[in-house]
Amino acid sequence: MKKVFFMTMILLLFQLCGFAQYKASINRSCGFSKQDTTSEGYAWDADNQALEYVKRICDVSGISKNFTIQRSSLTATACAVIDADNNRIIYYNQDFFGSLNNETYKIAILAHEIAHHLNNNLFTKDSKRTIDELDADKFAGSVICKLGLKLEDAKQLYITECPSYSKGIYPARKDRIEAFSIGFYDAGCQNGKAPNQADNSNPILKPNLTTNTFVLPFTDGHFVGNGFTVTLPSNFIARPSIRSITTKAAQSFFFTSPDGDAEFYIFLSPWGNVASDIAIDAKTETLVSTNVGRGGEIVRYDIKAKDNSYERAYLEVQSQKENIHHVKGFKYKTQAAYNTYYPMFARFFQTTPNEPQANDKDNNPPANTTADNKTFKVSFSDSFVDNASRWPVQRGYNYNFYFRNNKYEMESLGQGMFEPVIPTSINSDGDYRITALISHFSGVANNGYGLTFSYKDSGNLYLFEISAEGYYRVCRFLDSQFYTILPWTASDKILKTNGQINKLRIWYQGNQVCQFYINDTLVNSIDNFEKEGNYTGFVVENNQHIQVSGLTIEEQN
C-alpha cells in the first residue's frame, strides 16, 4: 500500500510546476574572473542543463559533490560560495549563462567553481588565492579534456572573460590559459583535442547502438525490458536507446504512439549513470520549469519546443542509498494528443523495476563461484624489487611515480586520476585472475585507488577502486565516457589504516562473469563483462599517496 501511495504522489507531480525560491546570502566567495557579488539576495533551483553539466563533470572526474548549485541574483556571472552557515554553494546568473553560446564555456566555468569546493578553498584574503585560481583552472582543463571538448573553445572563453593583466586574486590571462592548457594535456589530450577524436566528432561520445542488439517482446500489453516491465498498448513502437554497460540490453527506451503524436520514455539504471538521451537541446527547446522534492532526490522537468511543436515532461528519481536512477517521461504534440494518451501514460508510469536477481544485491554473489576444481598458472608476477617490467617512472606538476624500498609508489599531488599501466597479454580463453597488494600511505580518505584492468587506451578501460574510508566501486571508461558499473559500496573487508595492505583480486570467468574480491572475500560481481584490452596497472585519484608491493596474473591451465 505504501508503494502505491508513493508512486501516486510522484505521479501527481506531473500536474504541478513551479520554482523553489530561497533567501540567500554570501559570506565568502570567488567568481570566475571577477568579484561581482552582492551580500544578500535570492536564489532558485538550478535548471536542468546546469544539473546535467555538474553531473557530467563529477562523473568524468570520479568525484563526489560537496556543494549545491543554484541560480541567483547574487552574482552577475558565476561564483563558488561559502554562506553564513558554512554551506558550500555554486551560484550562477541565468541571464549570463543564457548569453553563452558555447557548451564548453559553461562547462569550463562550472568546473572551475567546482574545483574551489573540491579543493576546500576558504576564500580568505591571502596570497594563496592566486594559486587557488590556477589550480581551479588546471582542474577545469582536465575536465574539458576528459569530456572530449576542444581546447581552443575554452581558450576563447578566457580571452573574452579574463583581463590580460593580473588584478587582485586573479592571475593574468596568459597564466590562466597556461594553467588550463596544462590540465588539459596532462589529462591525456593531444593537439588540442581528446585522444582519437576527429576534429568533426561529436564532443560528448555516446555508445554505438543498433536496434537488432535488443529483444523487444510484447505480451498482453506488457513490454519486458532490461530489469523492468511496462504496461502500454501493444501497437506502440519501441525504440531502444542507451545501451547497458554490462549487458546487451538497454537502460532506456522510447515508446511512440501509432500516430506519432505522443511518446513515453523510461530510463532505469543504477545510481550514477546519466539519461543523456533526453538532455535539453538549448538551440530548439526551452526549460519551462523545474520542481524539486524529497531533498533533491526527485526532480520534475517541463520542456517546450521553441517552435511550439511539442511539450515534454520528465520525472527523475535518484538515490545513492538505494542505488537507483529512474526517469519516466511523456512527450506530446497537441492538447488532443495529451488528452488521448495521458491515461495510458498514467498506467505506464506505475512501472517499477523487476525484483533484482541474487547477483545484483550487495554482498550476495551468485552461487558456485569458488571453482575449486580449476587450476591456474602464473603468467606474470612482479614484486617490485626493481623495474624490470618497465612501469612508468616520472614526475609531473600534480603526480609522481617512483620505486622505493621494494614498492611502486604513486602520488596524486592535486586533482586528477592517474593510471600507470603496462602490457600484460592474457592468452587464456578461460578464467584468469589479477591480484594486487596495495596500501594507502597518506592523503585524503574519500577518493579512490586500486586496480586498472582490461585497459585498451585512456578512453577504454575498467577500474576496481577502494577508498581509505572503507568503500569500493567498479567503473568503466567507454569511448572516453565515464560510467559507474557498481557504485560506491561500504565493505568491512577493507583495511582502513594507512600502511595496511589490501589484497584486491579480479577473477574473470570464461562465462563472462567478472568477480571482485577484497582480502580474499568475494564482495560483488558483474555479468556480460566485455574485455577491452590487455594492459594492467593501477589507479590513484586526487591528493593520495599509495604503495604497491605485488601484482600477479594467473591463467587457467
One domain, residues 299 and 383: no
Of the candidate ranges 94-108, 115-129, 171-185, 444-458, the one whose mean pLDDT is the lowest:
115-129
Tell me whether residue 369 is in a domain: no
Tell me whether residue 201 is in a domain: no
Per residue, the 3-state secondary structure of 376-396, as one string, reads: EEEEEEECCCCCCCCCCCEEE
From 308, 445, 318, 401, select the one nearest 10 (Cα to Cα): 318
pTM: 0.41
Alpha carbons 331 and 312: distance in angstroms, whole number: 4
Domain count, the chain: 3
Tell me whether residue 193 is in a domain: no
Which residues are CB-contacts of 494 (< 8 A; sequence separation ≥ 6)? 466, 467, 470, 471, 472, 502, 518, 519
pLDDT tens digits along 77-98:
899 988 877 788 999 999 889 8
Using 50, 70 and 90 to split pLDDT, how confident is the model at 551? very high
Q: Supply the pLDDT for residue 547.
A: 95
One domain, residues 103 and 245: no
One domain, residues 93 and 142: yes
Q: Supply the pLDDT for residue 215.
A: 32
Alpha carbons 184 and 197: distance in angstroms, whole number: 14
Question: Helix or strand or coil: residue 49?
Answer: helix
Tell me whether residue 194 is in a domain: no
Task: Answer positive or negative: Cα dihedral of 29, 163, 58, 410.
Answer: negative
Largest CA distance in the chain: 75
Using 50, 70 and 90 to split pLDDT, how confident is the model at 437? very high
How much of the chain is in helix, strand and coil states, percent to nearest 5? 20, 40, 40
One domain, residues 60 and 158: yes
One domain, residues 380 and 300: no
Q: Supply the pLDDT for residue 138.
A: 92
Tell me whether residue 206 is in a domain: no
One domain, residues 298 and 224: yes
From 204, 273, 278, select the one nearest 241 (Cα to Cα): 278
One domain, residues 248 and 351: yes
Domain final residue pick, 153, 186, 219: 186
Q: Cell numbers of 165, please?
A: 593583466
From 184, 507, 179, 192, select the one nearest 365 (Cα to Cα): 507
314 vs 218, residue with greater confidence: 314
pLDDT tens digits along 251-260:
788 888 888 8
One domain, residues 380 and 518: yes
Domain final residue pick, 186, 221, 241: 186
Q: Does 20 score more than 70 pLDDT?
A: no
For residue 401, the enclosing domain spans 376-556
Tell me whether residue 488 is in a domain: yes
From 480, 478, 539, 460, select the one nearest 147 (Cα to Cα): 480
Chain center to CA of 68: 16
Pairing, β 535-540 against β 544-556: unpaired
Q: Does 493 score more than 90 pLDDT?
A: yes
pLDDT tens digits along 197-242:
433 332 222 222 222 223 333 333 445 455 556 666 667 777 777 7
Of the candidate ranges 113-122, 137-146, 456-465, 534-543, the one whose mean pLDDT is the lowest:
113-122
Q: Does 363 score more than 50 pLDDT?
A: no
Q: Supply the pLDDT for residue 16.
A: 42
One-character DSSP codes across 125-182:
SSTHHHHHHHHHHHHHHHHHHHTT--HHHHHHHHHHHS-SS-BTTBPPHHHHHHHHHH
Which of 166-170, 268-272, 520-524 has the highest average model confidence (pLDDT)?
A: 520-524
Q: Supply the pLDDT for residue 537.
A: 94
The answer to whether 38 touches 265, Cβ cutoff 8 Å, is no
The answer to whether 313 touches 338, Cβ cutoff 8 Å, is no
Which residues are CB-contacts of 483 (< 8 A; sequence separation ≥ 6)? 245, 273, 475, 476, 477
One-character DSSP codes across 253-303:
EEEE-TTSSEEEEEEEE-TT---GGG---TTTEEEEEEEEEGGGTEEEEEE
The answer to whether 473 touches 486, Cβ cutoff 8 Å, is yes
One domain, residues 158 and 35: yes
Q: Cell numbers of 474, please?
A: 567498479
One domain, residues 305 and 427: no
Alpha carbons 309 and 281: distance in angstroms, whole number: 14
Over residues 494-509, mean pLDDT = 91
Which residues are CB-contacts of 39 (< 8 A; sequence separation ≥ 6)? 25, 26, 74
Of the candidate ranges 101-105, 508-512, 513-517, the one whose mean pLDDT is the lowest:
508-512
Using 50, 70 and 90 to split pLDDT, how confident is the model at 360? very low
One domain, residues 176 and 219: no
The answer to whether 418 touches 402, Cβ cutoff 8 Å, is no
113 vs 66, residue with greater confidence: 113
Chain center to CA of 110: 15
Using 50, 70 and 90 to split pLDDT, how confident is the model at 128? low
Over residues 115-143, mean pLDDT = 81
Which of 126-130, 429-433, 496-500 has the highest average model confidence (pLDDT)?
A: 496-500
From 504, 503, 507, select the one nearest 374 (Cα to Cα): 507
pLDDT tens digits along 58-73:
877 777 677 889 998 8
Q: Does 2 score more than 50 pLDDT?
A: no
Tell me whether residue 365 is in a domain: no
Q: Cell numbers of 444, please?
A: 585524503
CATH number at residue 337: 3.40.1000
Of the candidate ranges 9-18, 24-33, 311-320, 451-460, the one whose mean pLDDT is the lowest:
9-18
Tell me whether residue 462 is in a domain: yes
Alpha carbons 451 and 464: distance in angstroms, whole number: 5
Which residues are CB-contacts of 469 (< 8 A; sequence separation ≥ 6)? 445, 446, 496
Using 50, 70 and 90 to split pLDDT, how confident is the model at 8? very low
Q: Supply the pLDDT for residue 359.
A: 33
Over residues 267-273, mean pLDDT = 70
Distances (CA, A) of 162 to 26, 33, 35, 113, 481: 23, 5, 12, 15, 30
CATH number at residue 523: 2.60.120.560
> Taking all residues of the chain, what is their mean pLDDT, rounded to a whole number?
77
Of the candidate ranges 185-189, 308-312, 521-525, 550-554, the one whose mean pLDDT is the lowest:
185-189
Over residues 134-157, mean pLDDT = 90
Give exposure, 539-552, as e/b (b: 16+ Cβ within 10 Å): bbbbbbbbbbbbbb
264 vs 200, residue with greater confidence: 264
One domain, residues 223 and 134: no
One-character DSSP codes across 352-382:
-BPPPPGGGSTT-PPSS---TT--EEEEEEE
